[in-house]
């Protein structure tokens, strides 16, 4: 008769219970690896099949998240953005607490000009992981849709969350430029440049603002610097 209190027996039972799951994860990982190899060879249709198999074998694992991202990118390579969206949506159903998948879906919507859907995805990402990256992305949506006070709020939060990053000041600069407050915008672009001297986008925005303000001497000086 099996001694259930024996530690060795307990270990055997534990191994028996978890072996099938581990095996499925190993198979999922192998399918993911196969899919990546095919993706790198630009054999996208075959790669998609492997990524789907990886997801099906272990839908709630880290392998599934990676396979979902690859599957979506594969569909984009095939020119099918609708299937890419479906891939992300399926991945989110399987891994509802993964903020990165929601960010990726939001980025896809944003690139396609679907700003309402992008906002929904970014806001869901913020609820799961209130990070500077998700706040910055949300601020970009508000900029695109001219909700400038909301954009300002998001970029201020980015600045507080990551004061060592240029993103907060750069976002605020873009926002104040659209608000037609050039002096305030230049102040934030210059703050970004203090953090990163070779931040050429910030130099360009400052030059554009000086040109709009009629200060062609400063605008030309920045243009010459950028050309050099």
Mean pLDDT of 64-76: 96
Summarize pLDDT for 117-132 with one digit per residue, the tens. 999 999 999 999 999 9
Name the pLDDT band for 205 (thresholds 50, 70, 90).
very high
Name the pLDDT band for 11 (thresholds 50, 70, 90).
low
Q: At 161, list the tokens.
A: 């969350």
Dihedral sign for Cα atoms in the order 194, 138, 105, 144: negative
User: What does the alpha-carbon distance between residue 65 and residue 130 come to, in Å, rounded to a whole number?
Assistant: 20
Q: What is the pLDDT of the chain when averaged over all its residues?
A: 91
Number of H helices, E strands in the chain: 12, 0
Whether the per-residue pLDDT at 18 is higher than 80: the answer is no
Least confident of 9-18, 62-71, 89-98: 9-18
User: What does the alpha-carbon distance between residue 105 and residue 215 come to, in Å, rounded to a whole number?
Assistant: 42
**Residues of the chain above pLDDT 70, percent:** 90
Interacting residues of 168 by C-beta distance below 8 A, sequence separation 6+: 132, 136, 155, 156, 157, 158, 159, 160, 161, 162
Whether the per-residue pLDDT at 21 is higher than 90: the answer is no
User: What does the alpha-carbon distance between residue 201 and residue 193 come to, in Å, rounded to a whole number?
Assistant: 10
**Residues of the chain above pLDDT 90, percent:** 81
């Amino acid at each position: 008769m099996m001694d259930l209190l024996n530690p060795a027996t307990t270990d055997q039972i534990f191994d028996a219970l978890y072996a099938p799951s581990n095996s499925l994860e190993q198979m999922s990982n192998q399918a993911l690896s196969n899919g990546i190899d095919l993706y790198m060879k630009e054999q996208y249709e075959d790669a998609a099949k492997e990524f789907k198999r990886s997801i099906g074998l272990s839908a709630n694992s880290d392998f599934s998240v990676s396979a979902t991202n690859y599957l979506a990118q594969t569909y984009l390579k095939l020119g099918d953005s609708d299937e890419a969206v479906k891939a992300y949506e399926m991945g989110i159903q399987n891994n509802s607490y993964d903020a990165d998948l929601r960010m990726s879906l939001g980025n896809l919507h944003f690139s396609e000009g679907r700003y309402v859907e992008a906002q929904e995805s970014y806001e869901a990402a913020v609820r799961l992981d209130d990070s500077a990256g998700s706040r910055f992305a949300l601020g970009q949506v508000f900029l695109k849709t001219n909700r400038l006070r909301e954009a300002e709020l998001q970029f201020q939060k980015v600045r507080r969350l990551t004061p060592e990053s240029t993103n907060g000041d750069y976002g605020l600069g873009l926002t104040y430029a659209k608000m037609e407050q050039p002096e305030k915008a230049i102040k934030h672009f210059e703050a970004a440049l203090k953090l990163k001297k070779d931040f050429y986008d910030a130099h360009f925005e400052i030059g554009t603002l000086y040109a709009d303000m009629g200060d062609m001497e400063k605008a030309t000086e920045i243009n010459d610097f950028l050309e050099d």
